[in-house]
Chain A
Amino acid sequence: MKRIIIISLTMILMTIYGIRLYSVNSKKDYPITLSFDRDEEVYIENDFFNSCSEDMDGYSVKIKDTELFTVDEFKDKYGVTDEELFSLYDHIFIVKATFGNHGNKSGEQGGIDLGEYIIQNSSFMNIVERDAYSILNGGNPLRFSLKNNSYYDIMIPFGINERFIDIDSLCKGKTKLIISLYPHKKEITL
Chain B
Amino acid sequence: MSDLKAEIIKSVKNPFFLFPLAFLIILSVLNACSNISDYYFFKNEVITDEVMDYNPGTSIMTVYNMWLGTRQNNRFADIFFVFALLFPVVVYSWSYRWTLIKDKKQSRYGIKKNFNKLIAIFISSGAVSTIPIIINFAVVSLFIPLRKPDSAYDIYFGVFSSNIMGECYYSCPLLYTLIYISVCFILCGAIGCMTHSLSVIIDNWILSGIIPIAFLLIFRFNCSAKSLFTSDISPISLMSSAPVAFENLKCLIIEFAIAIVIVCLSLWRIKTKKEAI
Contact = CB atoms under 8 A, between A and B. Distances in A.
Given A120-B151, A165-B161, A181-B152, A27 B145 contact: yes
B247 interface: no
9 contacts: A17-B142, A30-B145, A31-B58, A50-B54, A122-B151, A122-B167, A123-B151, A125-B152, A185-B150
Interface stretch (B2-10, B45-53, B123-131): B45-53
Interface of B: 47, 49, 52-56, 58-59, 138, 141-147, 150-152, 154, 159-163, 166-167, 169-171
Contacts of B171: 122-123
B145 A24 contact: yes
A25 B145 contact: yes
Given A25-B146, A123-B151, 8 more contacts: A21-B146, A24-B146, A51-B54, A52-B53, A118-B152, A123-B163, A182-B55, A182-B56
Contacts of A163: 162
Contacts of B144: 24
Of A30, A165, A183, which is in contact with the most chain B CB atoms at under 10 Å from its CB?
A30
B151 A49 contact: no
A29 interface: yes
Nearest to A52: B53
Given A31-B58, A124-B161, A24 B143 contact: yes
Nearest to A20: B142
A46 to B, nearest CB: 9
Contact of B159 (A27, A123, A183): A123
Nearest to A187: B152
Nearest to B144: A24
A178 interface: yes
B55 A29 contact: no
Contacts of B55: 31, 48-51, 181-182
A167 to B, nearest CB: 13
Interface in A52-82: 52-53
A98 to B, nearest CB: 23
Contact of A30 (B59, B141, B152, B159): B59
A52 B151 CA distance: 22
Contacts of B59: 30-31, 181
A123 B58 contact: no
Contacts of B152: 118, 120, 125, 178, 181, 185
A120 B47 CA distance: 25
Nearest to A181: B55
Nearest to A164: B161
Interface string A1-45: 000000000000000010011001101011100000000000000
A21 B145 CA distance: 8
Given A29-B49, A51-B54, A52-B53, A123 B145 contact: no
A133 to B, nearest CB: 19
B143 A123 contact: no
Contact of A164 (B54, B56, B150, B162): B162
A118 to B, nearest CB: 6
Nearest to B167: A123
Given A29-B58, A50-B55, A123 B170 contact: yes
Contacts of A124: 151, 161
Nearest to A176: B152
A12 to B, nearest CB: 15
B169 A123 contact: yes
Contacts of A31: 55, 58-59
Contacts of A185: 150, 152
Given A24-B141, A31-B59, A123-B160, A51 B147 contact: no
A30 B53 contact: no
A164 B166 CA distance: 10
Nearest to B147: A30
